Structure formats: structure tokens, C-alpha cells
Amino acid sequence: MSVVQQMATPLFFSDSAVAKVRELIEDEGNPDLMLRVFVTGGGCSGFQYGFSFDEELDDEDTVIERDGVKLLVDPMSYQYLVGATVEYQEGLQGSQFVVQNPNASSTCGCGSSFSI
């Protein structure tokens, strides 16, 4: 039996991120899509953030739902993301999802990798 953890906002999902995810889901025409945020080893600072769309919940995923949009986090990534905010930013360098992470002791210039 699959058990999905739902916790009280361990990771914040900004208005801009919710709006962009909703827009992308509508563009795909697949209401089952959810945004997965994860941490992997790599990047210039040791760890890097990743984002993907997923239709499946893994047994131990944490689900953050805001305004009908779901964000998924696996248990390994969760420990690095508690208290962080997922945002969507548009600027001169392009558009992207970014993580504002109070747990990171340093980040790279592009904002996609960090160290603890």
C-alpha cells in the first residue's frame, strides 16, 4: 500500500511558482502532472537542484499542495530543502525555477548549486 506523507509546509511554494506550474500543466493538457524538486550531487558547489514533472507519487514522497498544484520531494532531498522556498523568476538571463534555501552555506553564481 502506498503511503504519501503530507506535512505542514516544510517547503514553501511561491505564488509565481504555483502560477507557472499551473500554466505548464494546462499547456501539457495533463492534470495529473506534479512538479518534483530534488537535490543531487554535483554542480560547482557540491549539490545541485533539479526540477522535473512527474505523474507518479513514490511511497515516501512529501507532497506540498498549494492552490491545487502539487510539489513532490523525495526523502533524501527533503532534508536539504526544509524551510526553503521554490520560486519562479523571469529576468535578463531567462526564466527558471529557483530555490531560496536558508540551509545553504554558499551558492554558485547561477543559483542552481549549493553547499551545506
- Give per-residue pLDDT as tens, 14-62: 999 999 999 999 999 999 999 999 988 876 657 788 999 999 999 999 9
- Please check if 97 is assigned to a binding site: no
pLDDT digits (tens, 9 = 90+) for 76-116: 999 888 899 999 988 887 888 888 888 765 555 545 544 45
* pTM flag (> 0.95): no
Hey, which bits of the chain come out as E strands? 12-13, 34-41, 47-54, 62-66, 69-73, 85-91, 94-100, 106-107, 113-115
2 or 92, greater pLDDT:
92
- CATH fold of 12-110 reads Hypothetical Protein Aq_1857; Chain: A; (2.60.300)
22 is in an annotated binding site: no
Grid cell of 92 as nine digits: 535578463
Task: Count CB neighbours of 80 within 10 A.
Answer: 18
Whether 73 has a binding-site annotation, put simply, is: no
For residue 70, what are the contacts with CB-CB under 8 A and spacing of at least 6? 34, 35, 63, 64
Overall size of the chain counted in residues: 116
